[in-house]
Amino acid sequence: MKTLVEQFNAQMRDAIRIGQSTNLSVAKCDYRNIVIAGMGGSGIGGSVVSSILFDRLAVPVTVVKSYDIPAFVDKNTLFVACSFSGNTEETLAAVAQAQAKGAAIVGIMTGGELQQIAEQHHYPHILFPGESKQPRANMGYSVFLLFYMLEACGLIDHGFEADLQETVALCEQHEMAIRTQAQALALALHERLPVVYADARLESTAVRFQQQVNENSKQLCHVNAFPEMNHNEIVGWEHPQFLLAKTAVLLLRTGYDHPRVRQRMELCRPVFEAQGATVTDVKAEGQSLTAQIFYLTHLLDWTSVYLAEANGADPAPVAVINRLKEELAKLNG
């Protein structure tokens, strides 16, 4: 996994190359909504794109991370199926329902059954390399190629590519500083429960880190977003005190945070510290929201790998997930 994180900048550059070279024949329709279906490392890409384009898309986006799809899906829906392997059972089930509803289906995958379905029905699709065998290590592909797919469908203009180029240059320029900061963050999180808070616009970025801590570091992590957490979770910072004293709060910060959220973070800091929690600000670099999100993503990916080392854990295998899939396969048999 460490090698895959080292290759992340190269992956983003390759994603741009694939996006630029893929000739997609997509009918420009009057889409009324977008549904992005995907699980795990594929699904989080949809959530991140939805966050970035929150104030740019003229139609609503729903990210589906289950077997079923919304009742509103119809012929005016752009249905984007994202699956690293192309064999994710939840995503394939969702595609079957989208077909029955007559949705316009497109796909992003490395191969598998989803590719076969796309080729059989002539659905526009983008293929990307799958040699890593690690879906969570391919966020550069999943996010960047979603932008190119949405452009091909006439839903965004080409301006996004300048943000992608900035993102890669930024991460390459700051690579050594990112690794150094990640080591310090891993040390701050070691033997503590990470609690990650961010502006609602950055919730998917926080969730991405949670997933990386779960899979790479083999430990639990908690995430919530401002301002919603101020209407409920903040009251929970009283008990159990022994657990709160073992938490490490990370406040993810970008230049796109709402001004009132910045104020809320500062007002909540003493609440956390009063219970013995450590509080660390994690600030993004870059100009565009895309660049800032990916700067944080790369920094926190490295953090999860260094935290795995501190935990004495191998970040690559996900034995429990594989065992669960095997047991589910038996139930189908």
| Domain count for the chain | 2
Q: Verify that 128 and 190 share a domain, yes or no.
A: no
Cα–Cα distance for residue pair 31/51, rounded to 1 Å: 19
Cα–Cα distance for residue pair 157/151, rounded to 1 Å: 6
325 is catalytic: yes
Q: Peptide bond preceding 270: is omega within 30 degrees of 0, i.e. cis?
A: no
The pLDDT score that the predictor gives to residue 333 is 58
Q: What is the C-alpha end-to-end distance of the chain, expressed in Å?
A: 33
Cα–Cα distance for residue pair 37/47, rounded to 1 Å: 10
Q: Looking at the domain assignment, is residue 195 inside a domain?
A: yes
Residue whose C-alpha is closest to residue 86's, from 37, 45, 53, 49: 37
Q: Looking at the domain assignment, is residue 166 inside a domain?
A: no
Q: What is the DSSP letter of 234?
A: G
Q: Verify that 145 and 13 share a domain, yes or no.
A: yes
Q: Looking at the domain assignment, is residue 252 inside a domain?
A: yes
Under the phi-then-psi rule, with left for phi > 0, alpha for psi from -120 to 50, and beta for the rest, what region is 122? left
Q: Which pLDDT band holds residue 220 (cuts at 50, 70, 90)?
A: very high
How do residues 249-306 score in pLDDT, each as one tens digit? Answer: 999 999 999 999 999 999 999 999 999 999 999 999 999 999 999 999 999 999 999 9
**Which whole-number Å values give the CA distances from 222 to 118, 321, 324, in the listed order?**
37, 19, 23
Q: Verify that 97 and 128 share a domain, yes or no.
A: yes
Q: Looking at the domain assignment, is residue 167 inside a domain?
A: no
Question: In the beta sheet, which residues pair with residue 34?
Answer: 61, 78
> What letters, b where the CB count within 10 A reaches 16 and e where it falls short, cover 240-263?
eeeebeebbbbbbbbebbeeebee
Q: Verify that 197 and 270 share a domain, yes or no.
A: yes
Per DSSP, the three-state class of 333 is coil
Q: Looking at the domain assignment, is residue 134 inside a domain?
A: yes
How do residues 171-186 score in pLDDT, each as one tens digit? Answer: 999 999 999 999 999 9
Decide: 42 and 142 in contact? Cβ < 8 Å.
yes
Q: Looking at the domain assignment, is residue 325 inside a domain?
A: no
Q: Verify that 101 and 245 share a domain, yes or no.
A: no
> Which residue is it, tokens 């919603």?
228
Which position has the higher pLDDT, 132 or 281? 281
Cα–Cα distance for residue pair 203/178, rounded to 1 Å: 21
Supply the range of the domain harboring residue 89: 2-158
Q: Verify that 6 and 47 share a domain, yes or no.
A: yes
Q: Verify that 147 and 185 share a domain, yes or no.
A: no
231 is catalytic: yes
Q: Which pLDDT band holds residue 332 (cuts at 50, 70, 90)?
A: confident
Q: Verify that 56 and 114 share a domain, yes or no.
A: yes
Q: Looking at the domain assignment, is residue 332 inside a domain?
A: no
Q: Verify that 69 and 103 share a domain, yes or no.
A: yes
Cα–Cα distance for residue pair 38/132, rounded to 1 Å: 18
Residue whose C-alpha is closest to residue 311's, from 208, 210, 215, 177: 215
How do residues 104-123 score in pLDDT, each as one tens digit? Answer: 999 999 999 999 999 999 99
Q: Verify that 146 and 212 share a domain, yes or no.
A: no
Q: Which pLDDT band holds residue 81 (cuts at 50, 70, 90)?
A: very high
Catalytic residue among 151, 203, 215, 218: 215
Question: In the beta sheet, which residues pair with residue 109?
Answer: 83, 127
The pLDDT score that the predictor gives to residue 28 is 74
The pLDDT score that the predictor gives to residue 36 is 98
Q: Which of 158, 190, 221 is the last residue of a domain?
A: 158
Decide: 202 and 297 in contact? Cβ < 8 Å.
no
The pLDDT score that the predictor gives to residue 274 is 98
**Which whole-number Å values give the CA distances from 214 to 136, 189, 317, 318, in the listed order?**
11, 13, 11, 10
**Three-class SS string for 125-149?**
EEECCCCCCCHHHCHHHHHHHHHHH
267: domain CATH number? 3.40.50.10490
How do residues 19-68 score in pLDDT, each as one tens digit? Answer: 999 988 887 788 999 999 999 888 999 999 999 999 999 999 999 999 99
Q: pLDDT at residue 130 above 90?
A: no
Q: Verify that 77 and 28 share a domain, yes or no.
A: yes
Q: Looking at the domain assignment, is residue 330 inside a domain?
A: no
Catalytic residue among 28, 231, 239, 330: 231
Q: pLDDT at residue 74 above 90?
A: yes
Q: Verify that 145 and 181 share a domain, yes or no.
A: no
